[in-house]
Amino acid sequence: MISDQDIFTISSQKQFEKIALKVFRFQYENNLVYKEFCDFLKVDIQSVKKLQQIPFLPIQFFKNHNVVSNTNGIQEIFTSSGTTGMITSKHLVTEVSLYEQSYRNAFSEFYGNIEDYAILALLPSYLERSGSSLIYMVKDLIELSNNEHSGFYLHNYDELIAKLIELDNAGQNILLIGVTYALLDLVEKQKFQLKNTIIMETGGMKGKRKELIREELHEILCDGFGVQNIHSEYGMTELLSQAYSLGNGIFECPSWMQILIRDTEDAMTYVSNGKTGGINVIDLANINSCSFIATQDLGKKYPNQPACRQAGSFEVLGRFDNSDIRGCNLMVM
């Protein structure tokens, strides 16, 4: 049996691979959708000895299948955003405490003690619908910050502007987490010179503005907020973990999550560091659903750096279908 502690205390690549292979066998035996997918590919389960041999379930399966690995009751249903009439993804979560442990541990790993921050959230398009895993996470982080100034903002930009300036001038560490188009709206209303604030964009224009390449977007936001770097979060409805970028669009994963880059022409072949391909995500916190997901995002991995976690870093470059492009540079594809 694989415990929560096994997942969240991984400290080496060898340990990650060992637990990932255990999770793979568990999900093959207990997740009917994943088992049928593996059987369709004629995978010999006993011969799977390394990460690159594990089949990755296409993310589209979450649109019309219940992807679960146990028979426990459903505690939360997270859904993706989508335009009217569009089929959205549905993530059935049978143990929401795993999600909570995942984002709380990751926040601590990347940013330190949550109580050191006032969390200001500008996420109008997410707040206006139900079932958002991002809202679930940010709401919990706001409460955990134990700061009277933490909170959500919908369209009350003037109030947010006043609060940001007041807290930043007072020396309070601030994390402003916002959907991309709303952060652009904010800097069009007010130019800032922030000294104690981290700006984190969660991607997405949500049809409100034309898409920008990441470099252009971050340049506008850096100039508008008066900061050196724009942080980003890479997560999705179908996962229970996120990667974070502390600047320049280069993401790192927490120790229980890794990225592989697959060949766009052959899903079971992987490309070397620096080459563009499809992003495959291993998210061991997603043990009760599917931990091996082939996304529709394009990206590239970089070699391990001494300052990086063991899995190396990666960049997100765009989407296969060119829809909902994640603030990315399509010029390099």
Per-domain boundaries in the chain: 4-86+254-332, 99-234
Rounded CA-CA distance 301/316 in Å is: 9
Residue 259 parent element (H or E): strand 257-262
The band of 323, judged by pLDDT with boundaries at 50, 70 and 90, is very low
Rounded Cα–Cα distance for residues 230 and 228 (Å): 7
Decide if 126 contacts 81 (C-beta within 8 A).
Answer: yes
Q: What is the CA radius of gyration of the chain?
A: 20
Tell me the sheet residues that pair with 299: 277, 316
Is pLDDT above 80 for 307? no
Helix (H, G, I), strand (E, B) or coil at 169: helix
Neighbours of 166 (CB within 10 A): 11
b/e per residue 137-162 (b: at least 16 CB within 10 A): bbbbbbebbebebbbbbeeebeebee
Question: In whole numbers, what is the pLDDT of the chain averaged over residues?
Answer: 91
Q: How confident is the model at residue 199 (pLDDT cuts 50, 70, 90)?
A: very high
* Section 239-252 average pLDDT: 96
Q: Which CATH architecture has domain 99-234?
A: 3-Layer(aba) Sandwich (3.40)
Banded model confidence at residue 326, pLDDT cuts 50, 70, 90: very low
pLDDT bucket at 183, cuts 50 / 70 / 90: very high
Predicted TM-score (pTM) of this structure: 0.91
CATH domain 4-86+254-332 topology: Luciferase; domain 3 (2.30.38)
- Does the pLDDT of residue 236 top 50, yes or no? yes
306 pLDDT above the threshold of 60: no
- What's at 72, amino acid-wise? N
Tokens found for residue 89: 């993804």
Main-chain phi, psi angles of 149, to 5 degrees: -90, -15
A 10 A CB-CB count for 302 gives: 14
Q: Is the separation of the CB atoms in 189 and 161 below 8 Å?
A: yes
In tens, the pLDDT along 200-218 reads 999 776 667 787 888 999 9
Instruction: Report pLDDT digits (tens) over 45-72.
Output: 999 999 999 999 999 999 999 999 999 9
Which letter does DSSP use for residue 142 in this model? H
Contact call for residues 274 and 312 (beta carbons, < 8 A): no
